[in-house]
């Protein structure tokens, strides 16, 4: 009786947070378990991917926002940008796994599920951030933006609500390229895409923006962390002239010399009206902070060799890449792919060494068929070895874990190798050595004896 009472109360409490229409049982292949949050743009659900036993977050977009030509343009933009986000793998960026449409053709996004609170929640509770903590948070945000900007992805909505802080003090930047209309701080759809209190002057004016607009927003967040108040608290869609004039926030009412120096040397520069007067890159911003705090960040260290330069390139996303590799090698605990495949062929032969074993259940066969659809889709759109847990390499590995002798899955991993090598050589021919180095590091850990990747490594060594 006690158990039933608790279950009933839990259900009743959860129902208070449900949208009026209730929640769907499934969105695509994902089982919907609960509501994580609800806002003007849509609902965020906690979901579960049974194929690979993974909890995810699913963000939906309200159908009312998709009406008319403007709605269709919004849908196209979401498709393009989620595809770009899906290629990003960084320890300080919430990974986007998939874009899909529900039965009524409304879009939804499947993302990494994380347990933490946004900076907005902390600030709303009146949390006071020590200077060191604020600097640590901003450094991680800048590491994420340095990575995304190099991939040509501009966030456009940097604000405390989109910066998640985990219990271990890791920062996760969320909602890349998506203007989230989630509360009274946000703009009305169709007028501006972003949040006026954290937008740059050029973004408020509806002009062309680049990565320096994101850095302006980071300056505003940093100001709020060290002061506890918004730099422009009265800025709204109907009152943005103050920011357009380039008016600066008031000087913090503090006596700590380091805080005042941070405001004068870093924050004011980041909030310059003209983009050319701001920090030009996230790295420049970070280095300026380090000069103030005198605590160098290992994410942007310099060195004479190409390997040290590569460490500089990876920065904060090295942990993310290690996660991908660890997840992949979980299925191949002692041998790289090509060696594991040969071993798998031997294990699937009977005592005569001629015939493969055929002892899969119907459930296993159905699971493999589903996984092939997923793996082939990943391969088609270029999700070769990233993001973690949602890529072609990982999914073909799931098939081989169930059926080690599956030749189609073996061919799939060979195709991953070929596609990855082709992509890397294309980047090389375009002179994008940094991106080649990043892909090559992962490729050589997964396929250490592949002659094509070895040759490319020699070319990178010579280029550096």
Identify whether 12 is part of a domain: no
Which of 2-16, 118-132, 145-159 has the least mean pLDDT?
2-16
Tens digit of each residue's pLDDT (9 = 90 or more) over 72-116: 776 776 676 676 667 788 889 988 888 777 777 678 888 889 888
- The reply to whether 126 and 94 lie within a common domain is no
Supply the pLDDT for residue 343.
Answer: 40
Residue 139 exposed, middle or buried by CB count within 10 Å (0-12, 13-18, 19+): buried
Same domain, 355 and 403: yes
Choose the final residue of a domain: 112, 145, 177: 112
Domain boundaries, position 89 = 22-112
Q: Is the pTM of this model over 0.85?
A: no
Element (H, E) at 438: helix 433-446
Strands 30-38 and 43-49: antiparallel
- pLDDT for 213: 92
Same domain, 44 and 165: no
Single residue among 282, 300, 318 that ends a domain in this structure: 300
> Do 130 and 238 fall into the same domain?
yes
Q: Has residue 3 been placed in a domain?
A: no
Q: What is the gyration radius of the CA atoms in the chain, in angstroms? A: 24
CATH code of the domain in which 97 resides: 3.30.200.20
Does residue 4 sit within a domain?
Answer: no
Task: Please report the pLDDT score of residue 158 as a whole number.
Answer: 93
Each residue's pLDDT tens digit, 367-384: 899 899 888 887 887 778
Please, which residues have CB within 8 angstroms of residue 102's CB and are 6 or more apart in sequence? 24, 27, 28, 60, 108
Whether 313 and 254 map to the same domain: the answer is: no
pLDDT at 166: 92
Is 358 inside a domain boundary? yes
Is 300 or 243 the better-scoring residue by pLDDT?
Answer: 243
Q: What confidence category does residue 301 fall into, taking pLDDT thresholds of 50, 70 and 90?
A: very low
The CATH number covering residue 197 comes to: 1.10.510.10
Rounded Cα distance between 116 and 164, Å, is 6
Residues 6 or more apart whose CB falls under 8 angstroms from that of 81 comprise 153, 176, 177, 178
pLDDT (tens digit per residue) in 420-449: 898 888 888 877 776 677 677 778 778 888
Task: Judge whether 214 counts as a catalytic residue.
Answer: no
Identify whether residues 203 and 329 lie together within a single domain.
no
Q: Quick one: 427 and 289 in the same domain? A: no
Q: For the segment 205-234, what is each residue's pLDDT rounded down to a tens digit?
A: 777 788 999 999 999 999 999 998 888 766
Any domain includes 10: no
Q: What integer pLDDT is reported at residue 73 of this predicted model?
A: 72
> How much of the chain, in percent, has pLDDT values that exceed 70?
69
200 within a domain of the structure (yes/no): yes
Q: Is residue 2 part of a domain?
A: no
Same domain, residue pair 183 and 137: yes
Q: Are residues 296 and 164 part of one domain?
A: yes
Catalytic hit among 49, 157, 182, 214: 157
Does any domain span residue 130? Answer: yes
Number of domains the chain contains: 3
On the question of pLDDT at 15 being above 70, the answer is no
Q: What is the pLDDT of residues 35-49, one digit of tens each?
A: 888 766 678 899 999
Statement to judge: residues 150 and 187 lie in one domain: yes
Assess whether 363 and 335 both reside in one domain.
Answer: yes
Residues 333 and 442 in one domain: yes
Give the pLDDT confidence score for residue 443 in this predicted structure: 80
For 278, counting Cβ atoms within 10 Å of its Cβ (0-12 exposed, 13-18 middle, 19+ buried), the class is buried
């Amino acid at each position: 009786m006690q158990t039933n009472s608790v279950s009933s109360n839990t259900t009743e409490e959860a129902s208070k947070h449900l949208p009026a229409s209730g929640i769907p049982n499934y969105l695509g292949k994902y089982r919907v378990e609960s509501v994580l949050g609800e806002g003007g743009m849509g609902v965020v659900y906690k979901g579960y991917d049974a194929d690979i036993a993974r909890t995810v977050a699913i963000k939906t977009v309200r159908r009312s926002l998709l009406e008319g030509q403007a709605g269709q343009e919004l849908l196209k933009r979401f498709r393009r940008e989620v595809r770009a986000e899906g290629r990003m793998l960084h320890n300080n960026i919430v990974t986007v796994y998939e874009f899909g449409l529900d039965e009524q053709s409304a879009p939804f996004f499947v993302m990494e599920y994380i347990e933490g609170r946004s900076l907005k929640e902390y600030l709303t509770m009146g949390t006071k951030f020590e200077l060191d903590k604020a600097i640590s948070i901003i450094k991680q945000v800048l590491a994420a933006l340095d990575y995304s900007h190099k991939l040509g992805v501009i966030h456009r909505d940097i604000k405390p609500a989109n910066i998640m802080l985990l219990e271990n003090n890791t920062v996760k930047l969320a909602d890349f390229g998506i203007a989230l209309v989630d509360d009274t701080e946000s703009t009305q759809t169709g007028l501006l895409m972003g949040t006026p209190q954290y937008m740059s002057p050029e973004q408020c004016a509806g002009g062309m923006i680049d990565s320096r607009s994101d850095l302006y927003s980071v300056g505003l967040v940093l100001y709020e962390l060290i002061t506890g108040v918004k730099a422009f608290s009265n800025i709204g869609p109907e009152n943005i002239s103050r920011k357009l004039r380039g008016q600066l926030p008031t000087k913090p009412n503090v006596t700590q010399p380091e805080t005042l120096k941070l405001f004068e040397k870093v924050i004011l520069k980041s909030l310059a009206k003209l983009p050319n007067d701001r920090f030009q890159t996230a790295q420049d911003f970070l280095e300026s902070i380090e000069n103030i705090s005198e605590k160098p960040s290992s994410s942007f260290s310099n060195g004479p060799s190409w390997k040290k330069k590569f460490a500089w390139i990876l920065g904060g996303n090295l942990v993310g890449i290690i996660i991908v590799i660890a997840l992949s090698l979980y299925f191949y605990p002692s041998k790289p792919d090509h060696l594991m495949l040969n071993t798998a062929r031997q294990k699937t032969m009977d005592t005569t060494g001629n015939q493969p074993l055929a002892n899969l259940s119907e459930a296993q066969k159905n699971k493999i068929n589903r996984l092939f659809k997923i793996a082939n889709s990943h391969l088609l759109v270029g999700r070769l070895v990233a993001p973690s847990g949602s890529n072609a390499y990982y999914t073909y590995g799931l098939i081989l874990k169930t059926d080690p002798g599956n030749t189609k899955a073996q061919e799939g991993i060979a195709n991953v190798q070929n596609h990855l090598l082709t992509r890397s050589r294309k980047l090389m021919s375009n002179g994008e050595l940094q991106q080649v180095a990043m892909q090559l590091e992962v490729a050589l850990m997964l396929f250490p004896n592949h002659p094509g990747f070895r040759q490319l490594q020699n070319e990178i060594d010579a280029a550096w």
